[in-house]
Amino acid sequence: MQNLVTRFHLLLFGVTIAISGVALFNIPANYVFAAHWTRSEADWTWPLEDALATGPVVQIALMAAFWGLGRLLTKNHFSKVEHLLQPALTLLLSVIAGCQMGLLALGIGSDFDFFRITAGLLVMTLLVLAVVLFEAERHSYAGMRMPWRVGSDRAWAVVHKGTALVTILAAVALAASVWFYAGPGPMVVTMAAILVSLPIFAALLTLLTRRL
């Protein structure tokens, strides 16, 4: 059966659930997470239960979406995109697990800022991805896979190099968010925006270059 959701993805989900359980047992029920600070005051807060529930719920939604996508793809298309979509899901689930660890660290007063650590690791991942995309050569099974084909070598180069440049800009923006830290809230929003917008940009660029 075609399935993009692996046991490792379920393990990442289990880790997130475990972190949530530890947090519920070790953080006071009336604790409120400070998501953004203006000077020395928090102007954006997360209630404990809402904050801890968000990560697992988003992970379930992502796994359900990837599972459904795997069932919809033909066997030929699945074999071409499996090696790309499974790591993509791994990255998404790992970022969420890292943020969940950040909530636990905040709640117990740890000095480790896992939000900044997670964002920093994502910056490095984006930079590596940018290099891979920029240097990619056209191949039947390599490069980005879209429902529509890239029509020519020129279009392939435009799509991959253009997406690589935007990925570098995204990495720089996230690095700035890490450096000018104003709280975990803006950083989570920045990471989510990058992870959602990059595939959309790449898809739109392939559509725009279909006639090249």
Task: Render 132-144 in DSSP notation, one character per residue.
Answer: HHHH----SSSS-
H-helix segments, 38-145: 48-72, 75-107, 114-135
Distance between CA 66 and CA 86 in Å, rounded? 9
- pLDDT for 212 equals 55
Confidence band for 191, pLDDT divided at 50, 70 and 90? very high
Q: Average pLDDT, whole number, for the chain?
A: 84
Q: Could you report the per-residue pLDDT of 146-165, keeping only the tens digit for each?
A: 555 666 667 777 888 888 99
pLDDT above 90 for 210: no
How would you classify residue 143: left for phi > 0, otherwise alpha for psi between -120 and 50, otherwise beta? Answer: left
Backbone angles phi, psi at 136, to 5 degrees: -65, 140
User: For the residues 52-66, what does the mean pLDDT come to?
Assistant: 94
pLDDT above 60 for 86: yes
Confidence band for 82, pLDDT divided at 50, 70 and 90? confident
Confidence band for 39, pLDDT divided at 50, 70 and 90? low
Torsion of CA 115, 117, 118, 122, to 10 degrees: 130
Sign of CA dihedral 43, 54, 69, 14: positive
Confidence band for 144, pLDDT divided at 50, 70 and 90? low
pLDDT above 90 for 141: no
Q: Could you report the per-residue pLDDT of 3-35, keeping only the tens digit for each?
A: 889 999 999 999 999 999 999 999 988 888 877
pLDDT above 60 for 140: no
Distance between CA 177 and CA 169 in Å, rounded? 12
Q: Could you report the per-residue pLDDT of 113-135, keeping only the tens digit for each?
A: 888 899 999 999 999 989 888 87
Asked whether the beta carbons of 84 and 144 are under 8 A apart, the reply is yes
Confidence band for 84, pLDDT divided at 50, 70 and 90? confident
Asked whether the beta carbons of 201 and 158 are under 8 A apart, the reply is no
Which residues are 46's β-sheet partners?
A: 33
Confidence band for 171, pLDDT divided at 50, 70 and 90? very high
The more confidently predicted of residues 185 and 38 is 185
- 168-174: long-range contacts (C-beta < 8 A, 24 or more apart)? 168/126, 168/127, 168/130, 170/126, 170/194, 170/197, 170/198, 171/123, 171/126, 171/127, 171/130, 174/119, 174/122, 174/123, 174/126
Query: pTM for this one?
Result: 0.84
Asked whether the beta carbons of 188 and 115 are under 8 A apart, the reply is yes
